[in-house]
Structure 1
C-alpha cells in the first residue's frame, strides 16, 4: 500500500477520534443550559468532561499537523479557502477552553457557562458545514486556489451537514451525560436523548445518502444508521453504556462515510481537472516515511495514556463537593 493512502487513512482515523471524543464535549456544552437546573447540576455536567476535554482536542491538533506534513497542498488550499469558518471555530474553541478553566475559579459562573454553550455549538455546527463542502466540492482554479466566497460555502448541502453534526454531537452528549451522572440530571439527559435520537437519525441519514459516493461509503452509511438505531433502542432500554457505544459507532461511521466518499480526492473541485488528490497534494516519499515511523512509536503511548485517563475518571458525578467540577 502506498504511503499516501496510509496517511489519508490515518488522517481519517484522527478525525474519527476527534469527532467521537470531542463530540460528547460539544454535546454537553450545547445541552448545559437546557438540562441543568442549578449550580450542582451545572457543576456535575461540566465535571463529566473536565478531566478529558483538553486531551480530546489533541486529536484535532494532530489531525491538522498530519495534514500539513503529509498533504501540504491540501492544507494550504483548505485553510486559505475556508479561512473565516475555521477562524470562527478557533475563536469558539478558545472561548470554550477559557470558560472551562475559569468557571471553577470565579464567584459567578453564568457568563462562563454562556461561553461554554456558544463555544460548543459553533464548532459542532461549522465542522459539518466545512466537511460537507469538502466532500461536495468547491470552486478551485488551476493553481488550486479557492475562488468562491463565504456564501458559496453556505449552500443547502453544507447547511444540512451542519445540522447533521450538531444533532449527532448533541445526542452523543446526552447519552454521555446519562452515562456519567445520577438522579434528576441523568433522567433529563435520557429524555433529551430520546427526543434527539429520531431527529438525528432522519437528518444524518438524509445527509449521508446525499453525499455518499461508491460502494464502500454505502457500507459506512449502513453502519451509521445502525449505530443511531442502536442508540435509540439502548436509550429506551435504559442501557447507558450500550447507548454511548452505539452513538460512538454512529459517529465513527459518519466520519468514515465522509472520507470514503472523498477518496481518492482530498479537495475535489467543481471542475474535476482542478481537484487535489492524494497523489498531487502529498509530500515527498521521504517525508511520509519519517512520519510513519514517528507515528508508529508515539501513537500507542498517546492512546494508552488517554485510555488510562478515562479509566481513572469513570465514576458517575453528583456535582458535590464544589471542587469536583474541574479537579
Structure 2
C-alpha cells in the first residue's frame, strides 16, 4: 500500500471520528428545541456536551489539516468549489461556540433564549450541510481538466445530495437522542428514549434509500458489506433503545455512523473527488497527493501525536461520565 493510500484511510478515519463525536453533539443542539420543556431541561442537555463539544471539533481541524497537507489538490478544489456551504458551516461552528460560552454570562431570559436559538440553528444547519457536501463528493461534481470546479452552488443542491443531508441530520439527531438518554435522569431521559425511537425509524427509511442509491450507482462488495453493517446496527440500536439499554443503543448508533461513512469512502476510492464531466479528470489519491517525502514526515508526526490526543479525549469522557438531571442545575439568579 502506497503512502497516499494510507493517508486516504487516515483521513477517512478522522472524518468518521468527527461525525461519530460531533454527530451526537449536533443532535443535542437540535434537541434543545425538540426535547427540552423548559430552561432547566435545556441547561441539562447543554451540560451533557459542555465539557466535550470543543474537543469533538478537534477531529474536524485534524481532517481539514490532513487533507491540506496530504492532498493539496483535493483541498483546493473542495474548498473553492464548496466555498459558500463550507463558509456557512464555519460561521455556524463559530456562532455555536460563542453561544455555549456567552449564554450563561447574563441571567435575563431574552439573552439566554437568543443564544439557545443560535445553538439550535447552528447545530441543525451543519448537520444537514455536511451530508450535502459528502453527497456531492461521492456523486461527483463538475471538475475540468485543470482540476478546478466549474459548477455553481445550485449544482450542489441535487436530489442525491439533499437526501444525504436529510440522512445526516436525522442520524445525528437520533445519535444525540440516544446520548441524551444515556447521560440524563428523570423525565427528560424517558422522553429522549421515546424521541430516539421516532427519529430512528425516520432515519432508517431515509438511510436505506440513500445508501441503496449509493450502492447501485457506485458500490462494490466491500461497500455492500458496510451498508449491511450500517443497517443492522441501526436496527439493533432501535431495539436496545426500546429495551432501555442506553449504552448498547449508543454503541450501535455509533457503529451505524462509522459503517455509513466507511461505505461512502469505499465507494469513493481511489478517487478523492470524481468529475461528472470526464472520468479522466477525476481527482485521485495519486494525482491529488503531496510528495512521498511530505507524506512520510506527516506519518511520523501523526503516529506520535494522534495517540496522545485520543488518550486525553478518552480521559475527558471518563471524568464527565456521570448522568445529570434538573436536580443538578442551580437556580438562576
TM-score for both structures, normalised by structure 2: 0.96
Distance 2:208 2:153 in 1: 26
1:319 shift after superposition? 3.5
Q: What aligned pairs does 1:154-169 form with structure 2 within 5 A after superposition?
A: 154-169=157-172
The answer to whether the 8 Å contact 1:47/1:324 transfers is no
Alignment correspondent of 2:271: 265
The structural deviation recorded for 1:321 is 4.3
Aligned residues of 2:22 and 2:56 also touching (Cα < 8 A): yes
| Structure 1 residue ranges (4+ consecutive) displaced by more than 4 angstroms after TM superposition | 320-325
Q: 1:173 aligns with which of 168, 173, 176?
A: 176
Superposed, which structure 2 residues align to 1:22-101 within 5 Å? 22-101=22-101
Q: Identify unmatched segments of 5+ residues in structure 2.
A: none
- Residue number in structure 2 paired with 1:286: 293
Residue 303 of structure 1 corresponds to: 310
Measured in 2, the distance between the counterparts of 1:110 and 1:276 equals 45
Q: Distance in 2 between matches of 1:310 and 1:320?
A: 21
The alpha-carbon deviation at position 119 of structure 1 amounts to 0.6
Alignment of 1:152-231 (within 5 A): 152-212=155-215, 213-231=219-237
Q: Is the contact made by 1:104 and 1:323 (CA closer than 8 Å) also made in structure 2?
A: no
Query: What's the TM-score once normalised by structure 1's chain length?
Result: 0.98
String of CA shifts for 1:263-300, please: whole Å, max 9, x gaps. Answer: 00000001101110000000000000000000110111
**CA apart distance, 1:209:** 1.3
Superposition deviation, residue 105 in structure 1: 1.7
Q: CA deviation at 1:202?
A: 1.0
| 8 Å CA contact retained: 1:74, 1:276 | yes
Q: Secondary structure at the match of 1:139?
A: coil
Q: Deviations over 1:222-248 (max 9, x none)?
A: 111011001110011010000000000
Matched with 2:126 is 123
Corresponding position of 1:17: 17
Asked if the contact 1:40–1:320 (Cα under 8 Å) also holds between the matched residues in 2, the reply is no
Residues in 1 aligned to 2:71 and 2:240: alpha-carbon distance in whole angstroms: 40
1:241-260 alignment, distance < 5 Å: 241-260=247-266
Aligned length: 325
* C-alpha RMSD of the superposition: 1.2
Q: Unmatched 5+ residue regions in structure 1?
A: none
SS at match of 1:185: helix
The Cα offsets for residues 109-145 of structure 1, whole Å up to 9 and x where unpaired, read as 1011100000100000000000000000001110011
Distance in 1 (alpha carbons) for counterparts of 2:245 and 2:328: 27
What SS does the aligned partner of 1:266 have? strand
Contact 1:42 1:319 in 2 (8 A): no
Q: 1:245 and 1:124 mapped to 2: Cα distance?
A: 20
**Alpha-carbon spacing, 1:63–1:21, altered in 2? closer, same or farther (3 Å):** same
Residue 114 (structure 2) aligns with: 111
